[in-house]
Structure 1
Amino acid sequence: MTTAPSPASPKALAVWLVIAGVVGWWAAYSLTMERLQLLADPGSTASCDFSVLIQCGKNLDSWQGSVFGFPNPILGLTGWMAPVVVGMALLAGARFARWFWWLFTLGTAGALAFVVWLIAQSIFSLSTLCPWCMVTWAVTIPTFYAVLLHVLREGILPASPAVRRAAGVLMSWLPLVVVLSFAVIAIIAQLRLDVIGSL
């Protein structure tokens, strides 16, 4: 590791990465256990199957649930360790090279793209809302925002002074941005699935 462009370790980001990584990993672990249970006993139902709308089983049994030939949660079991390791390293005072931040940002962008695709598949194709999947969505989206705004604000990614200032301002408004993102997903789910009407 070499000295990064930022003069100080981003403590808040580091703490969030650890929290998000742990929560995301636990969601992936829970989904993996559910998948193993369904494989061991095909006639059983997942413990997170609460209704026709709110369930994990349909998602896990679908082709969308094994895009790369193995259950998607296995990606989470490995992938969510990265934010935990990076966050802990930052809390310990580590400084990462610019190229490392580029790759880490690319990784979070890839995770976000995959999650957005899964959200679309859940709502428009499977017509279900998987509880553990939604936990994954809930930590992936703010993680991408936080990492992207950090690298822009600190000049790790090439950006004009105006963009860096805007990223700094948006970072302070990040909770609102996240809530608005969740609201958009909730509205789309409601319009498509009538979640409230099914309760």
Structure 2
Amino acid sequence: MEDAIRQYKQAIHQLNPGVTADEWAYFQSGFTIHTLKPKAFFIEAGKHNHQLGFITSGLIRGYYLNEQGEDITTLFVSENGWATDYPSLLMHRPSRYNFQCLEPTTLIAVSYEHIRAGYDRFVGFERNGRLIAETVLMEQQRRIESFQFDSAEQRYLDFINSNPSLFNRISLTHLSSYLGIERPSLSRIRRKIVGL
């Protein structure tokens, strides 16, 4: 557990080197550490999300069910990544997404209530929240723009270049869903790239 906390502290300091000892002590006082098995949910669709999670080990897949009942992968979150559904967190509404573990996963969660109380208590504390939100938002924006401007092959290449540690940890089915590419088409793209 100490390693997980040290890892989280390092991530916070990388985002905001100006975090004070008092701010960190307050932040840490609201931690809960979760050890989840594969297929366990951190966030479930239809339920309110009250927590911001930081993954210290493992892998989570975010997805939703479309009108045909198919699950559509929207994100993967692995070590040193932030896991939350911000619309559910900020607007107090049920999540539309499932965040499910693909591997044994350890994460540190902090309630949004604790975070908001920190905003009121410490002048610099809001910076942490803003920087975490910006990190999540930038990843979401990058994904949206990849669908708008990049070919299927480019989306695949960008994914494997940006996520080399995930390549052998996720199924081809989940990857094709995330990239918006039919599985046979993704297999053809992979064969083409290997043949280059």
Structure with the bigger percentage of helix: 1
**Structure 1 length normalisation: TM-score?**
0.26
* Higher strand content, 1 or 2: 2
TM-score by length of 2: 0.27
- Considering Cα pairs closer than 8 Å and 6+ residues apart, tell me whether 1 or 2 has the greater RCO: 1
